[in-house]
Amino acid sequence: MGFESVIKLAASETDNLWSSGHGSVVAITLFVTLLCTCIVIGHLLEENRWMNESIIALIIGLATGVIILLISGGKSSHLLVFSEDLFFIYALPPIIFNAGFQVKKKSFFRNFATIMMFGAVGTLISFIIISLGTIAFFPKMNMRLGVGDYLAIGAIFAATDSVCTLQVLSQDETPLLYSLVFGEGVVNDATSVVLFNAVQNFDLPHMSTAKAFELVGNFFYLFATSTVLGVLTGLLSAYIIKKLYFGRHSTDREVAIMILMAYLSYMLAELFDLSGILTVFFCGIVMSHYTWHNVTENSRVTTKHTFATLSFVAEIFIFLYVGMDALDIEKWRFVSGSMTTSAAVSATLLGLVLLSRAAFVFPLSFLSNLAKKSPLEKISLRQQIIIWWAGLMRGAVSMALAYKQFTREGLTVERENAIFITSTITIVLFSTVVFGLMTKPLINLLIPSPKLNRSVSSEPLTPNSITIPLLGESQDSVAELFSIRGQTSQGGEPVARPSSLRMLLTKPTHTVHYYWRKFDNAFMRPVFGGRGFVPYVPGSPTERSVRNWEEETKQ
C-alpha cells in the first residue's frame, strides 16, 4: 500500500520527509493497538444487542482524538488527516469484495429488479429531493454555494452507505432486507459515480431531454461495463487456477492469486473510471461460484476466512478513522463563530435525508409489490419501514466524497465549506450511532419472533419452497456451502431432476434461473470449474476419506 508514498516521493522530491522517520511508526503502532482494542471490546460486548463493532470503533476513535487533542494542548488532533485514497484504494475494496463473496446469490438475483429500482431510480429521486431542498433552504441560512455544490451535496447524501448496512442487517436473520438494502448500496455506487461526474460539468441552462437520456445511458453503460469487468476478472482467475491446477503444489499460490486478482479487478475499474464497487462485488460473486471450487480444501478455508477477516479489520479501521477525524479542530474552530448556522445546516440535511429516502422507498416498494402475485413475496409495510430506516446511515463514503468536493488538499478555505464539512461529520456520527444503535431493536420490534422473521424472508415457507432446493443447489452463499461441505464432492446435475419440468410450468418467473443453471452446467462450469466440475484436489482434510475410498475402489 505504500506505493502511493513512493510515488509521492518521486513526484515531489523536495518532500518533507518527517513521515519516513518516527512519525509513521508511531501512527501505525497506535492504530494497530486501537484495532486490537476494538476487536477485544467488540468481542466482550457481543452479547449486547445494541452495540456493534462499528459503534465501538467510532467511540474509541473519538476518545483517542480527545486524548491526542489534550496531549497536543488543544492545538491539533491531526495525527491523521482524512485521505480519500486511504479509504477508496485500501479499506473499501476488501469490504465490498467480501460482501460479494459471501452474499446469498439466490436471494440477491431473485430480488435483482427491485434492487436495481432502488439503487438507480431511488437514488435519483433522493438526489433530486436533497438538491432541491438545499437550494431552497441553504440561502436562508446564509449559506451561499454554487449550483454545482448544491448538486454535489445531493449526490453525496443520496447514496446509502453499504459498509454500515453490513453492520446492522444480518444476512441470516433478515435475508430479504439484507439483500435489498445492501444490494441497493452496491448499485447506487454506480449511480453516484454517474451523478458526481455529471455534476462536475453541469450546465443547468442547457439542460435538455437529450442530456437527461444521456445521463440514463451513462448509468447503464457504467453499470454494464463495471459488471462485465468484474465478471471477466473473476472468470479469468477461475480459468487460470483450473488450467494450471495450482493445488498440485501450493495452496499459498492459489490464495495469493485469488486475493491479488480480486484487488486487480477493483484497481482496473478505478483505472478506467468505472465503479470499482460494482466491479469488485461481481468479481466476488463469480469467484465464489467458480474459482472457490477449483482450489484445495485448505485454500477454501483460508480464502473464506481471510476475506472475512480483511473486511472485518477494514470496517473497524474505517470507523476508528472517522471517529478520530471527527475532531479535526481546525475545521471546528472555523465554524465556532457560526454555531447556529452549522446546527441548522446539519438538521436540515438530516431532515432531507429522512424525507428523500421515504420519498422513494414506499412508492417503489408499492410498484415492486404490484409485480408480485404471492402475498408472501411482497414487501410488507413493516419491512418497508426497516428498509427506509436501515438505509438512512451515511458513512465513510459520504465523508470521502464531501472532502473531495469541499476541501483542497485536506484544507478548507471558505467558511461555507468548513460548515459543510463539519455538518457532514455530524450527520455521519449521528446517523451511524443513533440510527445504527436503533436498527436492531427496531427490527426486533417490527418483526418480533424469529419464526415470523423467517416466514417473511426470501425463503418463504410456502408451497413454492419446494423449488428452493433446485434453484439453491449452486446459488447458495459460501457460508452455506461450508456448512454442507460434505455435499461438495457429490455435486452432479441437479437440473436433470424430474421436478424441474413441473417447476418450469408452475413458476415461469423463475425460468431465468432455470436457463442460467442449464447454461452454467453446459458451458460455463466445464470451462471455468465450479462445484462438481473439478477433479479431486489432494490435500483436503475433509475429503481425505473420499480419497481413501477412491483409492480403495481402484485397488
What's the min distance (Å) between Cβ of 253 and a second copy?
A: 6
Assess 48 for contact with a second copy (CB under 8 A): no
Which of 75, 144, 305, 372 is close enough to bind a second copy by CB under 8 A? 305
Grid cell in block for residue 157: 447524501
Residues from 406 through 425 that contact a second copy (CB under 8 A): 409-411
Residue that the C-alpha cell 461441505 belongs to: 485
- The count of residues in the chain is 555
CA distances from 509 to 119, 179, 498, 516 (A): 22, 19, 19, 13
What's the min distance (Å) between Cβ of 151 and a second copy?
A: 22
Alpha helices in 371-467 (DSSP H): 381-390, 396-406, 415-430, 436-446, 450-455
Grid cell in block for residue 268: 482496473
Q: Going residue by residue from 181 to 220, which x/- string records binding to a second copy, judged by CB under 8 A?
A: ----------------------------------------
Assess 382 for contact with a second copy (CB under 8 A): no
Residues from 281 through 300 that contact a second copy (CB under 8 A): 298-299
Residue that the C-alpha cell 420490534 belongs to: 445
Assess 12 for contact with a second copy (CB under 8 A): yes
Binding segment for a second copy (CB under 8 A), chosen from 10-18, 143-151, 184-192, 277-285, is 10-18
Assess 301 for contact with a second copy (CB under 8 A): yes
209-244 vs 175-200: helix crossing angle, rounded to 10: 120
For a second copy, give the closer residue by CB, 106 or 300: 300
Q: What is the CA radius of gyration of the chain?
A: 25
For a second copy, give the closer residue by CB, 137 or 482: 482
Grid cell in block for residue 168: 446492522
Which of 118, 138, 219, 263 is close enough to bind a second copy by CB under 8 A? 263
Grid cell in block for residue 384: 418497508
What's the min distance (Å) between Cβ of 451 and a second copy?
A: 23
Residue that the C-alpha cell 481413501 belongs to: 548
What's the min distance (Å) between Cβ of 304 and a second copy?
A: 8
Q: What φ, ψ does residue 473 adopt, rounded to 5°?
A: -40, -50
* Vertex 528: Cα angle to 527 and 533 (nearest 5): 80
Assess 270 for contact with a second copy (CB under 8 A): yes
Residues from 83 through 122 that contact a second copy (CB under 8 A): 83-86, 89-90
Q: Are 107 and 425 in contact (CB under 8 A)?
A: no
Binding segment for a second copy (CB under 8 A), chosen from 37-45, 159-167, 418-426, 546-554, is 37-45
Assess 36 for contact with a second copy (CB under 8 A): yes
Assess 551 for contact with a second copy (CB under 8 A): no
Where would I find the beta strands (DSSP E) of 42-153? none
What's the min distance (Å) between Cβ of 19 and a second copy?
A: 4
Burial class (CB in 10 A: 0-12, 13-18, 19+), 439: buried
For a second copy, give the closer residue by CB, 269 or 392: 269
What's the min distance (Å) between Cβ of 549 and a second copy?
A: 16
Binding segment for a second copy (CB under 8 A), chosen from 79-87, 119-127, 217-225, 524-532, is 79-87
Assess 69 for contact with a second copy (CB under 8 A): no
What's the min distance (Å) between Cβ of 273 and a second copy?
A: 9
Contacts of residue 235, defined as CB under 8 A and 6 or more positions apart, other chains included, come to: 286, 290, 528
Which of 58, 125, 181, 261 is close enough to bind a second copy by CB under 8 A? 261
What's the min distance (Å) between Cβ of 291 and a second copy?
A: 13
Which of 118, 157, 282, 312 is close enough to bind a second copy by CB under 8 A? 312
For a second copy, give the closer residue by CB, 6 or 496: 6
Residues from 240 through 259 that contact a second copy (CB under 8 A): 240, 244, 246, 249-253, 255-257, 259
Assess 29 for contact with a second copy (CB under 8 A): yes
Binding segment for a second copy (CB under 8 A), chosen from 127-135, 337-345, 404-412, 437-445, is 404-412
Q: Going residue by residue from 528 to 547, which x/- string records binding to a second copy, judged by CB under 8 A?
A: -------------xx-----
What's the min distance (Å) between Cβ of 270 and a second copy?
A: 5
Comparing C-alpha atoms, which of 87, 71, 89 is closest to residue 79? Answer: 71
Residues from 447 through 506 that contact a second copy (CB under 8 A): 485
What's the min distance (Å) between Cβ of 496 and a second copy?
A: 30
For a second copy, give the closer residue by CB, 40 or 224: 40
Q: How far apart are CA 477 and CA 182, in angstroms?
A: 15
Assess 27 for contact with a second copy (CB under 8 A): yes
Residues 332/333/339/345 CA torsion (nearest 10 deg): -40
- Max intra-chain CA distance, the chain: 87
Q: How far apart are CA 113 and CA 511, in angstroms?
A: 15
For a second copy, give the closer residue by CB, 211 or 305: 305
Contacts of residue 218, defined as CB under 8 A and 6 or more positions apart, other chains included, come to: 194, 197, 198
209-244 vs 251-271: helix crossing angle, rounded to 10: 160
Is the four-CA dihedral 363, 369, 370, 371 of positive or negative sign? positive
Question: Considering CB under 8 A, how many residues would be counted as binding a second copy?
Answer: 86
CA atoms within 13 A on the CB side of 21: 4
